[in-house]
Amino acid sequence: MLKFLPRRLLQLVPTLFLVSVLIFGLQQLLPGDPALVMAGEERDPAVIEQIRRQYRLDQPLPMQYLHWIGNVLSGDLGESMRIKQPVSELITAKLPVTVQLATMAMVFALLIGIPAGILSAVKRGSAWDVGANVFALWGLSTPNFWLGIMLIFLFSVKLGWLPASGFVSPFEDWRQSLATTVMPAFVLGNAIAAVLMRHMRSAMLQAMGSDYVRTARAKGLVEKTVVLKHALRNALTPVITLGALEFGTLLSGAVLTEQVFSIPGFGKLIVDAVFNRDYAVVQGVVLVTATVYILLNLLADVLYVLVNPRLRD
Amino acid sequence: MNFKYGRPSARLAALALALGLALAGGAQAQSTLRIGLAEDPDVLDPTLARTYVGRIVFASICDKLFDIDEKLNVVPQLALSQQVSPDGKAVTIKLRPGVKFHDGEPFDAEAAKFSLDRHLTMQGSFRRAEINQVDRVEVVDPLTIRLQLKSPFSPLIAQLTDRAGMMVSPKAAKAAGDKFGTAPVCAGPYKFVERVPQDRIVVERFKDYWDARRVTIERIVYRPIQDSTVRLANLKSGQLDLLERLLATDVDEVKKDSKLRLATGTELGYQGLTINVANGEKANNPLGKNAKVRQAFELALDRETINKVVFNGLQKVDNQWVPQASPFHMDKFPTPKRDLAKARTLIKESGVATPIAIDFMVPNNPESRAVAEVMQAMTAEAGFDLKIRVTEFATSLNEAEKGNFHLYFLAWSGRTDPDGNIFSFASCGGPLNYGKFCDKKVDELLTQARTATTFSVRKTLYEQAAAEILPRGGVIYLYHRTLLFAHSPKLAGFKVMPDGLIRVTDLKLQ
């Protein structure tokens, strides 16, 4: 049934190699010298030279790449130049934050997007349909940072219900953890919900007009069964692909939203690292997110097979 | 149709309400001071650290040999006194007895020697350049050290009021090596607890602190929140008690809000324009080559108007490298007023054709961009054509180093001793001298000002240097920024210090 899996896993190797070369190469195009940025106001030429030597910035690029990739293969992602912490530690610390935020955002997106999409398709032309479309338009056209700041002003500054920013681990205090992530998750989920709703709607409309749905109705099935068991199941395939891709994007860090809510996740990590030219961090984070992204795509393919029996052979 | 899906909107509303109620209860106990920082600090090792924001955190965990007071006087901290030998080449420092590091180790002459030697010799030390006139550190007795200098160096004690004067526990530093910054052990009023990069740095009261009676708050949490609007929102909603670097444009809002307090001071540094006078090909432009054009440019600027338009008049306009409050500020050189007619005459005399195109590199932040645009309009009237090139910070450093600019908008955070604001910028080959201004006479005067030991002699030397630098040097000084803090009325005892760093002793949460 999942015969394609070993082949796909094997394909990961050249893909990831290519990704690693791209990450390394593209980063070199960034103007600015990491040693100078690191030195900041303290311009001791001897120390700047020493930094270049220590982080091999004085070596030819292919050598730098080989050194980096060699270490990566032995499980060492390097060290942050700025705060002298191993990159793998930073990633392990940030990954749970990003996963929690992405999952909550996805829950929001699915809870809003899928029912809204189904409803607007089934009740096409009704007030429900118009309402759902207006919502989708709003979700798609509202910039995340603006919505984020507005929510902070409403729920934190005016009403005082939720903390304005920061992050608390659910293992420390689950209430605080929910309180700190509910707004950013909603902001992120809101935009995705709109996309999901639009796709769900069109896929459902297509399915509802198909022969098998007509047959199901002719058999005398209740409408609920026709919609949920027959039409929805078929309409879900494109939505799963989309959901997986959106989830992958969320896992690579929601840069603006994390910035607005000061959530210490992947997005913030990578933006700070880019501005500080902290190469090892940028490379490590992008490599990990690329891997996660590719794996999620693979997972979407597996899910297709589970949802759609025709693909099982 | 006769099917039912329930009423999703009603269910969602109920869920949201339940969630809201569940979350509303979690208020924090108020023995913790929460400080909002504008950036995430770099490594917390006094020897390796370089950022301004890192110095704010050090102020609570690492005491220094000396400190400064509100009037910029040097006062003792871990040291009790200092005595300079008649030839200026030996400085004897008496240390405070009974001081302990956070790991319980005693602070004594051996520990002080260890810390200073570490600053001087550790690989990658950013402190070496600050105190490299120190030839060696001698232990005189358990509570006295003597610094033998290569040559007299008057800014030395001022350097010891900052990171170069921070003392670290030898035991912890030896054990941690270059990882010391991930869990620093010093002798400050608070000890390091944890750091979650980009999220928080937590410190707690050190019970054996030498001046423990001045420390009342149990914990301090530093939270980096880069967006200034969000930082302010956090203060308003009670998630922060104090924040640094409030935007000038938010000052009115804070003043109007009865639940907030504003605190201000003037920085030690300045904001200025660096002119490329000799750094590569690009120095060959009228502004870089002709002192008259440079003077015309300065006369075309109206510092007061820039200050009013962009900063609501908050900054202190000036034409010198030290702020007005410094005893080294020179009344002899008043800030020139705008004089368009004279500017035009000077350009005519210089024989340069107008408009004079100038590549103006400006760091990418809203305030700098606004200042640049105002200057563009002002100088256009005198015949200049400022071409503003907004550049991301890291890139601008590289461009400045390479000399790829005519004019560069630069900020300097400032140092306690005037030497820190001028020597590296105006001496031949100085590491921050981006425009490569070089003048033998200026070099000599600035070097003498470092070695002279009396205030009056130093001030005279700086005045002589200024007479050369101000009319034809590589920097046009514009203003000293006002340090802006906002805090909750619950916080008492907060004073803005000239270096802008937050002193945590004597703070109280009511």
Average pLDDT score, chain B: 91
Best A47, A104, A119, A255 residue to mutate vs chain B (most B CBs within 10 Å): A47
**Quick check: A313 pLDDT over 60?**
no
Average pLDDT over residues B111-125: 94
CA B430/CA B62 separation, integer angstroms: 29
Model pLDDT for residues A191-221, shown as the tens digit of each residue: 899 999 999 999 998 888 888 888 888 888 8
Closest CA to B315 of B375, B365, B266: B266
| For residue B29, pLDDT beyond 70 | no
pLDDT at residue B26 tops 50? no
* ipTM of the complex model: 0.80
Residues of B with Cβ-Cβ distance to A272 under 8 angstroms = 40, 198
CA–CA separation, B498 vs B483, rounded Å? 9
pLDDT at A5: 81
Q: What is the pLDDT of residue B187?
A: 97
| Structural domains of chain B sorted by starting position, each given as residue range(s) with its CATH number in brackets | 32-41+188-266+485-509 (3.40.190.10), 63-172 (3.90.76.10), 270-480 (3.10.105.10)
pLDDT band at B358 (very low <50, low <70, confident <90, very high): very high
Residue B3 has pLDDT above 80, yes or no: no
Give me the residue from A44, A93, A157 closest to B236, CB to CB: A157
Q: Identify the residue with better confidence: B50 or A105.
A: A105
- Return phi, psi of residue B254, to 5°: -70, -40
Supply the Cα-derived Rg of chain B in whole angstroms: 26
Q: Which of A165, A178, A275 sits opposite B23 (nearest CB)?
A: A178
Q: Is the pLDDT of residue B426 over 50?
A: yes
Beta-sheet strand order (sheet of B190-196): B190-196, B200-205, B219-224, B32-37, B242-244, B482-487, B261-266
Q: What would the mean pLDDT of B480-505 be, rounded to a whole number?
A: 94
Each residue of A265-309: pLDDT tens digit?
888 888 888 888 888 899 998 888 888 888 888 888 888 777 777
Rounded Cα distance between A158 and A162, Å, is 10
- Per-residue pLDDT at B2 exceeds 70: no
Minimal C-alpha gap between A292 and chain B (Å): 22
- Nearest-angstrom CA–CA distance, B145 and B165: 13
Which tens digit of pLDDT belongs to each residue from A127-166? 888 988 888 888 888 888 889 989 999 998 889 899 888 8
Q: Say whether B230 and A44 touch across the interface (CB within 8 A).
A: no
Q: In the predicted model, is pLDDT for residue B47 greater than 50? A: yes
More confident residue, B10 or A297: A297
Does the pLDDT of residue A182 top 90, yes or no?
A: yes
Q: What is the C-alpha separation between A255 and A235, in angstroms, rounded?
A: 31
What is the C-alpha to C-alpha distance for residues B317 and B319, in angstroms, rounded to an integer? 7
CB B272 within 8 A of CB B414: no
DSSP lists the bridge partners of residue B149 as B134
List the structure tokens of B330.
């020179």
Q: Which residue do the tokens 């420092």 mark?
A: B93
Asked if A264 and B223 come within 8 Å (Cβ–Cβ), the reply is no
pTM, to two decimals: 0.86
pLDDT tens track for B76-95: 999 999 999 999 899 999 99
The Cα of B186 is separated from the nearest Cα of chain A by a number of Å equal to 18
Q: Which residue of B has its CA nearest to A44?
A: B129
pLDDT average, residue stretch B98-119: 97
Q: Give residue A36's pLDDT.
A: 82
What local confidence, expressed as pLDDT, does residue A2 receive? 66
Q: For residue A268, which residues of chain B lie inside 8 Å, CB to CB?
A: 198
